């Protein structure tokens, strides 16, 4: 059987082999660890799912291949199979040529002619692999595409052809913005391609493209070290360029007085200490997470995300928290913030942060969410703005807590603990007044925090 | 290179194989001394003699039974069923005996035979002598099914069928016997399970078989010159095995699929291919696959009515043009 690059979450398209635990010729049992992969989001050890002998390793350490690619072969009898890493060689699922060997296997359900040469999933990662490639499988009929490219009908009633749906997904074209030129207003492939090429031209004007070699040439007289991009670095680069270019950001700032919040934290942590073995230790950030969850509950219109042709408004509030790691960052998501106590959130945050630093986050631990928090207060940063992490509709940038002079009773200056925050909003979901209401609610919650913990 | 008729190609194909292999024999009704009712076997009797070219009684069951016995005992018979409609008379051999013997004996017996038969309409033979029965044959596991559209393919695919170790139904089209085409000199051997792209095109794929192939080509020409639609025309040639590689590859390039089928609409060969394409190439499709077929109706003997029933160039062009929105 073929060992395939596993799917690690909806948005993960490829993985990089970082380690092999077994060598060719090794006998493996189901459950034995085979290899380790690093995706743009996580790293993971992949076990064998069947007993047998490892007869071929197609992807060596360092190789990157799409989800579904053949990584290795495990043979029950130790004989090398016929399958090759065809999909790894052509990972793009590109247009199939007339004699594309990738389509060869499709014959077998229809009185296959005997064929020599490679057999592989017919559309790279799009296609469910056959369980027994190379051997005759009388129950093997066809390779159904393993994924769906969205609905055939938009909420407004516009129809989209299957090819147009696939192309729109591949090229990141927003179908909701298109007018169909096909029969009955159907969106066809040509409409998507036209939109994609005009978008490309548009982008080209905005960003004067410096090619890789041009940039290197600029610094040819300067000593430098080339740092190859990790999967995570590439993903951060791609996603944030995408986020900043496609999400209409606007920013709202506020100063929040946190004396009461700090006092609450101190009382809670002191109480935990009195129990002997402290059961929890709240951080300011834990309380801000809770506070944002509470604020989103009170402003339900902001507890929503943009979904292309509609807005998804949630009942619960899941909040991502940026966690800095050695060469990048992760944003694990705490679910049901509105229904969890600060100590519960605190526990979960510690667990997720530890997993993030060990790069062991599971896809379910970093996907989804409605908003996020990025806190640079511990570095003394006073105020900053953050880029929204799609698909979220907002992100809260939290600065350091400082003692600042404020106007006290009778116009006399008094010092108070102040914290500046900036909320970045996706204008497609959150208009200015709505964002201001969310921020004002957050300020009220954090300045009078007792309400959110009872 | 010589110009040869489809009819003479049958004679040359059988001759080529009988000369090559002493075990190849040929039998059928009126095929020997009379040279066949369609004159597609003229001269074989004189050339190979009464032992290897035999006239049989008017009994399709006897013809196929004898052919099967000969095949099981080491010969490689070519049997003719005059009209493919008569396959129904000897369907037990076609459905239950030929394709099952190797399987049921665990390979101890083989059935390397070819059933040649005159298939299709266009010759005003009426409802019982005009049917296109490729879909009857296609549905039986264990059979191979071939239907050539040109003299060259007649020879090449007939040779491949005779040399194949399993039973092959070889559907000659009655209304193509008189067409002519260039045929190279020397031995011609083709490959079963291969379709042929006869005309490249970027806008749509047209699949056709046998007599529908020249009509598809004429339609493609008209669509190109009059409507600017460039169609890729593929002669499917072999229904089992089916060359899904060529078909899916073409659909991946053109993103549109049309089938032109002479068999009646229900369960026609194109239905199976559309099903495969829907399964495997769904996200390559930029419009619905469309089948252009004979209606699900017995065929009339009247020339005007028969012509109206079969897919013709006007209907093919009209359907494709409207579907493509041109």
Which residue in chain B has the smallest CA separation from A95? B252
Known catalytic membership, residue B129:
yes
pLDDT mean over A54-72: 85
Domain ranges of chain B: 2-183, 196-324
- Chain A residues touching residue B144 (CB < 8 angstroms): 111
B286 contacts A112? CB cut-off 8 A:
no
pLDDT mean over A150-172: 86
The CATH code for residues B2-183 is 3.40.50.970
* Whether residue A85 has pLDDT greater than 80: no
* Catalytic (active-site) positions of A: 427
* Residues of chain B in Cβ contact (below 8 Å) with chain A: 144, 191-194, 197, 240-246, 248-250, 252-253, 255, 276, 279-280, 282-287, 325
Domains contained in chain A, CATH given: 2-126 (2.40.50.100), 162-226 (no CATH), 234-453 (3.30.559.10)
Q: Same fold for the domain at B2-183 and the one at B196-324?
A: yes
A122 contacts B249? CB cut-off 8 A:
no
B241 contacts A162? CB cut-off 8 A:
no
* Whether residue B206 has pLDDT greater than 60: yes
% of chain A residues with pLDDT over 70: 80
Residue A130: pLDDT band with limits 50, 70, 90: very low
A302-311, B15-24, B38-47, B222-231: lowest mean pLDDT where?
A302-311
More confident residue, B153 or A77: B153
- Secondary structure in 3-state letters for chain A: CEEECCCCCCCCCEEEEEEECCCCCCEECCCCEEEEEECCCCEEEEECCCCEEEEEECCCCCCEEECCCEEEEEECCCCCCCCCCHHHHCCCCCCCCCCCHHHHHHHHHHCCCCCCCCCCCCCHHHECCCCCCCCCCCCCCCCCECCCCCCCECCCCCEECHHHHHHHHHHCCCHHHCCCCCHHHCECHHHHHHHHHHHHHHHHHHCCCCCHHHHHHHCCCCCCCCCCCCHHHHHHHHHHHHHHHHCCEEEEEEEEECHHHHHHHHHHHHHHHHCCCCCCCCCHHHHHHHHHHHHHHHCHHHCEEECCCCEEECCCCCEEECEEECCEEECCEECCHHHCCHHHHHHHHHHHHHHHHCCCCCHHHHCCCCEEEEECHHHCCCCCCCCCCCCCCEEEEEEEEEEEEEECHHHCEEEEEEEEEEEEEECCCCCHHHHHHHHHHHHHHHHCCHHHHC
- Model pLDDT for residues B151-186, shown as the tens digit of each residue: 999 999 999 999 999 999 999 999 999 999 999 999
pLDDT of residue A227: 86
* Whether residue B2 has pLDDT greater than 80: yes
Which residue in chain A has the smallest CA separation from B253? A95
More confident residue, B258 or A136: B258
A361-365, B13-17, B120-124, B175-179: lowest mean pLDDT where?
A361-365
pLDDT of residue A143: 58
A182 contacts B325? CB cut-off 8 A:
yes
Here the ipTM equals 0.73
- Chain A residues touching residue B193 (CB < 8 angstroms): 107, 111-113
Residue A77: pLDDT band with limits 50, 70, 90: low
- Chain B residues touching residue A183 (CB < 8 angstroms): 325
* Whether residue A108 has pLDDT greater than 80: no
- Model pLDDT for residues A320-360, shown as the tens digit of each residue: 999 999 888 999 999 999 999 999 999 999 999 999 998 88
* Whether residue A113 has pLDDT greater than 70: no
Q: What is the mean pLDDT of chain B?
A: 96
* Whether residue A199 has pLDDT greater than 80: no
pLDDT of residue A80: 45
CA distance A145 to chain B (A): 6
CATH class entry, domain B196-324: alpha beta
pLDDT of residue A99: 39
């Amino acid at each position: 059987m073929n060992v395939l690059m596993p799917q690690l979450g909806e948005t993960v398209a490829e993985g990089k082999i970082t380690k092999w635990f077994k060598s060719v010729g090794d006998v493996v049992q189901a459950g034995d660890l085979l290899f380790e992969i690093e995706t743009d989001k996580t790293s993971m050890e992949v076990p064998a799912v069947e007993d047998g002998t490892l007869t071929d390793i197609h992807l060596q350490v360092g190789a990157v291949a799409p989800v579904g690619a053949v990584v290795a072969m495990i043979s029950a009898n130790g004989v090398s199979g016929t399958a090759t890493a065809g999909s790894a060689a052509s990972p793009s699922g590109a247009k199939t040529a007339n004699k594309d060997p990738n389509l060869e296997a499709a014959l077998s359900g229809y009185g296959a002619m005997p064929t020599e040469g490679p057999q592989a999933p017919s559309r790279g990662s799009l296609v469910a692999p056959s369980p027994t490639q190379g051997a005759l499988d009388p129950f093997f009929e066809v390779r159904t595409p393993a994924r769906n490219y969205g609905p055939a009908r938009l909420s407004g009633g516009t129809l989209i052809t299957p090819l147009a749906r696939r192309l729109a997904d591949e090229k990141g074209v927003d179908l909701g913005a298109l007018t169909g030129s096909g029969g009955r207003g159907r969106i066809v492939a040509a409409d998507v391609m036209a939109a994609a090429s005009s978008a490309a031209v548009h982008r080209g004007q905005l960003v004067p493209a410096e090619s890789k070699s041009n940039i290197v040439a600029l610094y040819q007289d300067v000593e430098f070290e080339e740092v190859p991009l990790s999967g995570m670095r590439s993903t951060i680069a791609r996603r944030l360029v995408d986020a900043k270019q496609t999400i209409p950001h606007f920013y709202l700032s506020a100063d929040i007085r946190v004396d009461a919040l700090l006092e609450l934290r101190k009382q809670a942590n002191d109480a935990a200490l009195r129990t002997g073995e402290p059961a929890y230790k709240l951080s300011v950030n834990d309380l801000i997470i809770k506070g944002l969850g509470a604020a989103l509950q009170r402003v339900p219109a902001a507890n929503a995300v943009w979904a292309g042709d509609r807005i998804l408004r949630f009942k619960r509030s899941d909040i991502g928290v940026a966690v800095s790691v050695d060469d990048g960052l992760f944003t694990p998501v705490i679910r049901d913030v509105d229904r969890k106590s600060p100590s519960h959130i605190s526990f979960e945050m510690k667990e997720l942060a530890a997993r993030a630093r060990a790069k062991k986050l599971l896809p379910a631990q970093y996907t989804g969410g409605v908003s996020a928090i990025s806190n640079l207060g511990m570095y003394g940063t006073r105020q900053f703005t953050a880029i929204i992490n799609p698909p979220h509709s907002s992100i809260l940038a939290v600065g350091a807590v400082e003692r600042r002079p404020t106007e006290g009773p009778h116009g006399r200056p008094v010092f108070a603990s102040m914290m500046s925050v900036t909320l970045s909003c996706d204008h497609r979901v959150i208009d200015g007044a709505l964002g201001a209401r969310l921020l004002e609610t957050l300020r009220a919650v954090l300045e009078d925090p007792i309400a959110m913990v009872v | 290179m010589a110009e040869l008729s489809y009819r003479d190609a049958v004679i040359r194909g059988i001759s080529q194989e009988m000369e090559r292999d002493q075990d190849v024999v040929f039998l059928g009704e009126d095929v020997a001394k009379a040279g066949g009712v369609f004159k597609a076997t003229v001269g074989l009797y004189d050339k190979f003699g009464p032992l290897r070219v035999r006239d049989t009684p008017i009994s399709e069951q006897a013809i196929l039974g004898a052919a099967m016995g000969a095949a099981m005992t080491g010969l490689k018979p070519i049997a003719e069923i005059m009209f493919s409609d008569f396959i129904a008379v000897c369907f037990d051999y076609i459905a239950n005996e030929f394709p099952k013997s190797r399987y049921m004996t665990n390979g101890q017996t083989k059935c390397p035979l070819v059933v040649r038969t005159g298939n299709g309409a266009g010759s005003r033979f009426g409802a019982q002598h005009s049917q296109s029965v490729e879909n009857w044959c296609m549905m039986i596991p264990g059979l191979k099914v071939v239907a050539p559209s040109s003299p060259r393919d007649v020879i090449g695919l007939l040779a491949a069928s005779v040399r194949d170790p399993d039973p092959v139904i070889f559907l000659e089209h009655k209304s193509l016997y008189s067409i002519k085409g260039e045929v190279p000199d020397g031995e011609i051997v083709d490959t079963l399970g291969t379709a042929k792209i006869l005309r490249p095109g970027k806008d749509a794929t047209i699949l056709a078989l046998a007599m529908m192939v020249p009509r598809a080509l004429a339609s493609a020409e008209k669509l190109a010159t009059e409507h600017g639609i460039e169609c890729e025309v593929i002669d499917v040639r072999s229904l089992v095995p089916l060359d899904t590689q060529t078909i899916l590859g073409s659909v991946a390039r053109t993103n549109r699929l049309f089938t032109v089928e002479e068999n009646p609409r229900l369960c026609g060969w194109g239905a199976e291919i559309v099903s495969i394409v829907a399964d495997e190439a769904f996200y390559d499709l930029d419009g619905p696959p469309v089948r252009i077929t004979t209606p699900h109706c017995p065929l009339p003997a009247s020339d005007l009515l028969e012509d109206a029933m079969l897919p013709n160039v006007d209907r093919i062009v009209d359907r494709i043009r409207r579907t493509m929105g041109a």
